[in-house]
Amino acid sequence: MTEARASAAEQLALLVRGVERMYTEGELRGKLDKSLQAARPLRVKLGLDPTAPDIHLGHTVVLRKLRQFQDLGHQALLIIGDATAKIGDPSGRSAARPRLTDDQVRENLRTYLDQVEGILDVDRLEVVFNSAFFRDMKFEDVLQLAGKMTVARLLERDDFQSRFRAGEPIGLHEFFYPLMQGWDSVQIRADVELGGTDQTFNNLVGRDLQRDAGQEPQVVMVMPILRGLDGVKKMSKSLGNYVGVRDAPAEMFGKLMSVPDALMRDYYVLLTGLSEAEIDRTLAGDPRAAKAHLARSIVAQYHSEAQARAADEEFTRVFARRELPEDIPEAVVPAEELEDGSVWICRLLVLCGHAQSTSEARRLVEAGAVRLDGDPFADPKGRVRPADGQVLRTGKRRFARLRLG
């Protein structure tokens, strides 16, 4: 049996894995039955707003579910929200997002499509830009769409409700976001829409608008939000707790080795293709070996098996055996930065790219994260006399070999 020919029951068993909520499972079973009878693949929608240039593992949770539908023979539709991105999704926000310009959206978009290639079968992917549905709308069309939703319904959203009660401003344009996302579903006649838990309201609006348009409402499949490396908040680049799909193999491996033990099962279920039985066996063994297995699996997905093995070997050499990495990047300390042969430690961290600012560098020094040739440096006001060949280490994974310029 190939997955594409699996029965509706067999497909459903695969598709519900890892899903947090569904509206509704019975409807999905019915759609799968009809799909097999009519030999018509389901149209499965996932919307992505290009609000930032990089995709991290948190984004891949729903992307992997979309790939699962592809592998079962269904039609995946990736909706690029070049129109909705200009508003910014208000989900989970305590304030309005800054509005993006056309240039910002285009710049972010360039990397999005490249990065999803490692997850989706792009030869069987339909890419739709939602600006096509909105650019030619007349004001009368906008009013007609707005009339399909009440303010009371919009205020059911927790984020809008909490901002309203707190007296925080809510832009009228923000109310249009769920309407626009739902209108996408009408335009493409979606059978299924995927999203994270923070997208539940937006996805359900699509069901309402489809009913109003005389269409069979889409099934909404809500995936869990992947918590980041801090083990508390959702994975986010702005919070610094993320693993990017374009991170270098060694960096990706090192970050994954820092995943809290309590999150291991979530990461295995949401980010790998292992069965529950295989995950149980892996997690029943040595915790470090289980974490290394996870890290190798994910690095291999986005790079290669060879690079995953090399990253594992490098991590063991550097962190288990306390040796230095083989390829330490060189950092030039310009002569004009030196005063009597010395430089402020915080300025040195900035020059080496280990901190974005001297205030960030100060926090790193105070936290005991900085070493020079293996010796800790704890004085944020201190100065050092750099010499060719010295190794600056910040945290567990950042190294620089100094060279005087």
Domain assignments of the chain as residue spans, ordered by start: 3-223, 249-320, 330-404
CATH 3.40.50.620 is held by the domain 3-223:
yes
**What pLDDT does residue 171 have?**
84
Q: What is the model's pTM?
A: 0.73
Instruction: Report the SS3 class of residue 44.
Output: strand
Pick 330-404's CATH classification: 3.90.79.10, 3.30.70.2190, 3.90.1150.10, 3.10.290.10: 3.10.290.10
Inter-residue contact 18 to 12 (CB < 8 Å): no
Tokens found for residue 137: 């709308």
Report CA dihedral (362, 368, 369, 371) to the nearest 10 degrees. Answer: 100
Tokens found for residue 90: 């208000």
Enclosing H/E stretch for 9: helix 8-15
The residues near 132 (Cβ < 8 Å, ≥ 6 apart) are none
Tokens found for residue 61: 């949770």
The residues near 344 (Cβ < 8 Å, ≥ 6 apart) are 358, 381, 382, 383
Tokens found for residue 322: 């306390």
Tokens found for residue 383: 């100065």
* DSSP notation for 260-304: -GGGHHHHHHHHS---HHHHHHHHHS-HHHHHHHHHHHHHHHHS-
The CATH class for the domain spanning 249-320 reads mainly alpha
Residue 271: C-alpha distances to residues 24, 224, 242, 305 (Å): 24, 12, 14, 16
Torsions phi, psi of 372, nearest 5?
-125, 115
**What pLDDT does residue 98 have?**
63
Query: Angle at the Cα of 306 (from 302 to 307), degrees rounded to 5?
Result: 50
- Write out 128-181 in H/E/C secondary structure: EECHHHHCCCCHHHHHHHHCCCCHHHHCCCHHHHHHHHCCCCCCHHHHHHHHHH
Q: Would you write out the chain's pLDDT as a tens digit for each of its 405 residues?
A: 344 478 999 999 999 988 999 999 999 999 999 999 999 999 999 998 877 667 899 999 999 999 999 999 999 999 988 888 777 666 554 445 566 677 777 777 777 778 888 799 989 999 998 888 988 899 999 999 989 988 888 888 877 888 888 888 888 888 888 999 999 999 999 999 999 988 899 999 999 999 999 999 999 999 999 999 988 888 987 777 899 998 999 989 999 998 999 999 999 999 998 989 999 999 998 888 999 999 999 999 999 999 999 999 988 877 766 667 777 899 999 999 999 899 999 999 999 999 989 999 999 999 888 988 888 898 999 999 998 888 999 988 889 999 998
**What pLDDT does residue 198 have?**
85
